[in-house]
Structure 1
Amino acid sequence: MRANQDVKHMSLDEVNRELLLEQLERNKWHRYWVAIKKDWPLYVMLVPVLLYFFIFRYMPIYGILAAFKNQNDLTLSVGQAPFSGFYAFRSLIAGDYAKEFWQAFRNTFAISMYGLIFGFPVPIILALFFSEIKSDFYRSLTQILTYLPKFISTVVITSIITLMLFEGNEPHQAPGVITSLLQNLGLIDESVGIMRNPQYFRSIYIISGIWEGAGYGSIVYFAAIMAISPTNYEAARIDGANKLAQIRYVTLPGMAPTLTIMLILRIGEILSVGYEKIILLYNVQTYGTADVISTFVTRIGGLMGGQSISLNTAAAADLFNSIIAMFLVLGANFISKRVSDTSLF
């Protein structure tokens, strides 16, 4: 008798649950509309962001088809061009463009890896320095001074670099400040033009990149340091920890999640060296160490000597670059998740 009652009660509970779920399903869109109506200003502000990503991020994905089409006839759109399969990829990897492409690939990887090794720690060190400045005025002043290069256009930055490294071969033109200093120290010969020497190009690019972006990049790390509770530092001081020990056992562990996320993002950009600064700095003599994938794509995808080079090969090179970058991000994210339980997704 009791068992029959339990079964009856369970069936009633199930019926009530089903009715409740049906009621919630019927009112779902009404609840969504109420939520949107309540916070409509926020959703209106979100519209330009969604339009930006749709127009400039999602619509260009259609252009990926160019890597698999024959685009020699510029009068045809991507959709109208005949399908050519993986011909462009074969041309890149082991065909007519293989030598130039692999040279650009090596240069891209080398420049990015050197930038990661030498450039990634600098914003972290700057953020640590900023956190130790007790005066708000001096801290704000030093932060503004380090942020400024980020807001200068690339053309101006490259012009400043060129002027400072000018070799001054002509009698009425003195060498640049840095060139003159290196010559006086005996580090370079007067006949050596730094901007025309391929072995110096990567150093110039990386050092100028650190100077340009280190201050701006320190913002994230400085915010992570400021989010650490002061009681952690007080406990470390009570235990007798000096300043370096506090940084090692309190600051760096507190920044660890931020460091991990930023490192994953930086790894994803290893093969994404921008072409603007490279084009403005390199020349015929430095071409061997300066040409990267983005400049390679720009060159062969444009017009050279009045002839269209190969739009589908350029698209294939860019797609190849993006696929490798995607796998780098996935791999770095997987390793981070297994090692530290911190990941992007």
Structure 2
Amino acid sequence: MSQRSSAWKRIKRHWQFYLLILVPMVLLVTFHYVPMYGASVAFKEYNIIKGIAGSPWIGLKYFDYFFKGPYFWQILKNTILISLYQLLVGFPIPIIFALALNEVRSAFFKKWVQLVTYAPHFISTVIVVSMMSLLLGPQIGIVNNLLADLGLDRINFMGEASYFKSLYVWSGVWQGTGFSAIIYLAALSGIDPTLYEAARIDGASRWKKIIHIDIPGIIPTIIILLILSIGGIMSVGFEKVYLMQNSMNADSSEIIATYVYKVGLLNSNVSFATAVGLFNSVVNLILLVSVNAIARKVSQTSLW
């Protein structure tokens, strides 16, 4: 009883802090924990009239339907390959860019480069895909007009399945490199300046400073972001893939998100869409926990 009394006294004494915590806690519970109840739809034959509680249980029917479907392995392969391609290319480039930009001594040039490279991040996905169509279109595209002027055959870049993954990933690199580098630049700015002074006294070159000071200084940040990136490896962006997708490149562009939209949501099969979404979330959770455990064991740096 005394413990409850002392706890209540502490709350009354610091009620302002508890009030500040209350707002984000309510938002967290409302938008992250309450919707978890909806995951039960994956195990039910959902009926909009009966609601979640009134819909009958059907167990793993829609999981079985998804796993045994004719397109399961194809869309799973496309999802994983695009994600891995994006991770292998899109993850290190912002790091390299931040390290290079950190070595720039001209403040004017540095700000100009930052402005130019940050700007694409704020362009909407629809505009980016439209720009790609204008650049790579088979008839009016600038690239194909250049190829024709050089006497080469025109290429339907947006219609060839073999080009889809590269177009998706490299356009994302162009759009996101500058903005993604911000966090690495912030980490670089937090490195102890005395380390650079000691390296300069020892006669270390810029390259050696990068290898022995910059990279070790941002390794914890790199590991945390890598864990988060691998934890979302099954969550390829739906909007951009859907906008770039057409009947000619579907073999390479059909991913889990677009398949769920077409088979689940357009056909109003909410239970199927929920089942696939839950499968995605479970795989991402397993990857996140596993990579976090490995990172904690190897480098002593982890999310928790």
Settle same-fold status: TM greater than 0.5: yes
Q: State the 1:250 CA deviation.
A: 0.7
Residue 122 (structure 2) aligned to one of 131, 141, 151: 151
Following the alignment from structure 2 to structure 1, what is the Cα–Cα distance between the partners of residues 8 and 25? Answer: 21
Residue 316 (structure 1) aligned to one of 275, 278, 282: 275
Matching of residues 172-321 of structure 1 within 5 Å: 175-181=140-146, 189-190=153-154, 192-304=155-267, 308=268, 310-321=269-280
Q: State the 1:27 CA deviation.
A: 2.2
Q: State the 1:238 CA deviation.
A: 2.4
Residues 180-230 of structure 1: CA distance to partner in whole angstroms, max 9, x if unpaired?
3455567x731x311111100101100111111111111110001110011
Please tell me whether the aligned partners of residues 107 and 291 of structure 1 are also in contact (alpha carbons under 8 angstroms): yes
Is it true that 1:53 corresponds to 2:28 in the alignment? yes
SS in 2 for 1:270: coil
Following the alignment from structure 1 to structure 2, what is the Cα–Cα distance between the partners of residues 267 and 183? Answer: 41
Matching of residues 41-190 of structure 1 within 5 Å: 43=20, 47=23, 49-71=24-46, 73-94=47-68, 98-168=69-139, 175-181=140-146, 189-190=153-154
Q: Is the radius of gyration larger for structure 1 or structure 2? A: 1
Say if 1:303 and 1:334 are closer, same or farther in 2 by CA, change over 3 A: same
Please tell me whether the aligned partners of residues 300 and 311 of structure 1 are also in contact (alpha carbons under 8 angstroms): no
Give the aligned length: 304
Following the alignment from structure 2 to structure 1, what is the Cα–Cα distance between the partners of residues 132 and 27? Answer: 34
Q: Structure 2, unaligned stretches of length 5 or more?
A: none
Residues 89-123 of structure 1: CA distance to partner in whole angstroms, max 9, x if unpaired?
111112xxx22222111111000000000110111
Q: State the 1:53 CA deviation.
A: 3.1
Following the alignment from structure 2 to structure 1, what is the Cα–Cα distance between the partners of residues 15 and 106? Answer: 45
Residues 296-320 of structure 1: CA distance to partner in whole angstroms, max 9, x if unpaired?
111111234xxx4x32222111111
Say if 1:78 and 1:189 are closer, same or farther in 2 by CA, change over 3 A: farther
Following the alignment from structure 1 to structure 2, what is the Cα–Cα distance between the partners of residues 323 and 260? Answer: 22
Identity of aligned residues (%): 39
Please tell me whether the aligned partners of residues 127 and 221 of structure 1 are also in contact (alpha carbons under 8 angstroms): yes
Following the alignment from structure 1 to structure 2, what is the Cα–Cα distance between the partners of residues 330 and 142? Answer: 37
Q: State the 1:146 CA deviation.
A: 1.1
Following the alignment from structure 1 to structure 2, what is the Cα–Cα distance between the partners of residues 183 and 52? Answer: 56
Q: State the 1:56 CA deviation.
A: 3.0
Q: What is the TM-score with the length of structure 2 in the denominator?
A: 0.93
Q: State the 1:237 CA deviation.
A: 2.3
Is it true that 1:30 corresponds to 2:18 in the alignment? no
Q: Match for 1:284: what amino acid?
A: S
Q: State the 1:234 CA deviation.
A: 1.7
Say if 1:276 and 1:51 are closer, same or farther in 2 by CA, change over 3 A: farther
Following the alignment from structure 2 to structure 1, what is the Cα–Cα distance between the partners of residues 279 and 2? Answer: 50
Residue in 2 that maps onto 1:15? none
